Structure 1
Amino acid sequence: MQEKICDIRSDATGFNALAALSEKAKALLFEKVDLDFQDCTFFEANMAAPFYAVLTKYYEGMNVVTPTNIRSDIRTILQKNRFLCELGFCELHDSNQTTLPFKRFKLTSGEQFSDYLDQYMHDRGIPKMSDGLAKKFRQSLFEIFQNATQHSQSEQGIFVCGQFFPKQHRLDFTIADAGIGIRENVRRFWKNEKISSCQAITWALQGANTTRQNQPGGLGLKLIKDFLSLNRGKLLIVSRYGFYKFSASGESCRKLKDDFPGTCVNIELNTNDTNRYTLKSELTSSDIF
């Protein structure tokens, strides 16, 4: 059978397309599925992480998935970021160093994820930060990953990648899983089956709310949200039917048409930002003019 792939971007349309593709996997078992990219004119490389979360649903049904008719420019970038290596293609060298490569992590691979951040999460237009803020920012990214490992129950692990878009002045970093989603965790915690995906995401973002007993928690996003507000970047959280968006202009949550498998967090930095950022705690009297 054949499934058409349309343009995949880091927006509601892109995630609706992925959720619809995931829905179709529910009825398939032992099928040969051709993913036809003929109508796909643009694929944001960081979206390889949530795309792979969708593919796991096909793999769970023991289906064989083969991408076909991929435009040369899309194929090149997805070979450079190593995503297509998961589907039998060879890797291409990223001479421009715009990709943060696609990688699958086991739920116990916190140390490997930390090494990944050390290796790839620098340069690529990231706004200038003090050492203290850079450390806190990295810790926040690690908390997001750690939250996924502890709550998602994603049997296929956690999927990570990113992409620097120099012409668009943005860097996107994406963490996804194919787990039970934020809604299911919150429903179990509150013993309330009526909580929607948007309500669950909104609750999880409030202060130190967490479904872990007697432990501080939350999604680890407060510092990142504060930074993105100043940087004029963007934060997306997609979990099951919920699509949450935060930017300097405000925040919103809307319902997707179909059920996205698991949770995805996408952090978009404005790389056209020439400011230098620091923590308030790092300032001294000599910094005040």
Structure 2
Amino acid sequence: MQTVAIDFNFNDTKSSVEAFLERLRRKAPGAALSEDVELDLRSCQFLGPAAVVTLCALKAKADLAARSFRIALPEIPPPLTNYCRYSGLQQFFGLGPGPDGHPGSVTTPVRQFRTRPLSELAEMVSLVRRQMGLSESDEHRLNLTLMELAQNVLDHAESQVGGFLSARSFANEREVRFAVADMGIGFRETLRRTYSVLRDVDAIRLAMTANVTSKSSTHNLGQGLKLLRDIIQAKGGSMFLCSKGAWFELRNGRDNVGVFLNGNEYPGVLAVVTLPVRAPDADEDEDEHGDVWG
């Protein structure tokens, strides 16, 4: 059993994901796929939806391979320990009771899906509606965005564990974060059946192009992830996506594509979306389009 200390904040950003992959690679080579591992999170001060879906997907993958993948959860601070419970992370690893409704309804528990997660996505949209308020038009846009995100994970996964999703509202930052992950074959292996792609970074660039599809699903919109990216950019949000050794990031209205350092790889696909949301002011009407997004 290899013990790996995660003594940093596992936030919903590229730098956090890269730090996590680097720690696994250095402390337990091959840990994500082929060794018995315990992650010591007791010195960690923050876990976000990206951490939750990644850890749960890795455990599901290890369970299928009859490997042990365990975590030691932090005991303080209380907001973090509460999140471990209400996000479903604690229950998924058999470390305590599951969520019974987060006070304030700011977290949707991690959900595992193998088909289109209609009810699970409705739960996420409900979170936003309760916390921030949504017009009908914005609710439709949010549904479309999340469905495209989940569908692309399914289309590119071929994963025996399916996909995992989770969401959290941050009232102080006035934003909502969504994360979806799988432990599948990644974009390159999927797209190379139709396109000439030899590298993960080429595949992730191609996946962000309109009218690119794996043709693996009748639900595929033929937009790759471009539709999702365009909606996020229009709303002033951010997006981080990684597949095996490559990553894409939309931040501050700018796209960046690159490869992980030192040969690190995410063992599947991870997508994280952050959307700023503002509730309508009590003394102000919605704008002419009914928008309440920031």
State the TM-score bracket (shorter-chain normalisation). Answer: 0.7 to 0.9
Secondary structure of the corresponding residue to residue 267 of structure 1: strand
Structure 1 residue 250 displacement after superposition:
0.7
Match of 2:150 among 129, 136, 145: 145
Corresponding residue of 1:104: 112
Tell me, yes or no, if structure 1 residue 75 matches structure 2 residue 78.
Answer: no
Q: For 2:156 and 2:33, how far apart are their aligned partners in 1? A: 26
Q: Match for 1:262: what amino acid?
A: G
Distance 1:55 1:216, change over 3 A: same
Tell me, yes or no, if structure 1 residue 48 matches structure 2 residue 49.
Answer: no
Alignment of 1:78-89 (within 5 A): 78-88=84-94, 89=96
Corresponding residue of 1:263: 269
Distance 1:225 1:262, change over 3 A: same
Q: Match for 1:207: what amino acid?
A: A
Contact residue 25 and residue 57 of structure 1 kept, 8 A: no
More displaced, 91-100 or 81-90?
91-100
Corresponding residue of 1:286: none
Structure 1, unaligned runs of 5 or more? 283-289
Q: CA RMSD in A?
A: 2.9
- State the structure with bigger RCO (CA 8 A, min sep 6), 1 or 2: 1
Q: For 1:59 and 1:156, how far apart are their aligned partners in 2? A: 10
Tell me, yes or no, if structure 1 residue 174 matches structure 2 residue 182.
Answer: no
Q: For 1:57 and 1:49, how far apart are their aligned partners in 2? A: 12
Distance 1:221 1:277, change over 3 A: farther
Secondary structure of the corresponding residue to residue 17 of structure 2: helix
Structure 1 residue 49 displacement after superposition:
1.0
Corresponding residue of 2:166: 161
Match of 2:236 among 229, 232, 236: 232
Corresponding residue of 1:186: 191
More displaced, 133-142 or 56-65?
56-65
Corresponding residue of 1:287: none
Q: Match for 1:16: what amino acid?
A: E
Contact residue 233 and residue 270 of structure 1 kept, 8 A: yes
Tell me, yes or no, if structure 1 residue 212 matches structure 2 residue 215.
Answer: yes
Q: Match for 2:165: what amino acid?
A: V
Match of 2:68 among 53, 56, 64: 64
Distance 1:84 1:278, change over 3 A: farther
Contact residue 125 and residue 171 of structure 1 kept, 8 A: no
Deviations 1:27-61 (A, max 9, x none): 745x4x33211331221244311232233343344
Contact residue 4 and residue 37 of structure 1 kept, 8 A: yes
Give the TM-score taking structure 1 as reference length.
0.81
Deviations 1:57-107 (A, max 9, x none): 4334422233225133322211011122111121244112111211111x2
Contact residue 127 and residue 169 of structure 2 kept, 8 A: no
Corresponding residue of 2:43: 39
Identity of aligned residues (%): 17
More displaced, 92-101 or 109-118?
109-118
Distance 1:161 1:244, change over 3 A: same
Corresponding residue of 1:10: 12
Count of residue pairs the alignment pairs up: 273
Contact residue 181 and residue 263 of structure 1 kept, 8 A: yes
Match of 1:197 among 200, 210, 217: 200
Corresponding residue of 1:250: 254
Q: For 1:212 and 1:227, how far apart are their aligned partners in 2? A: 22
Q: For 1:261 and 1:5, how far apart are their aligned partners in 2? A: 18
Secondary structure of the corresponding residue to residue 188 of structure 1: coil
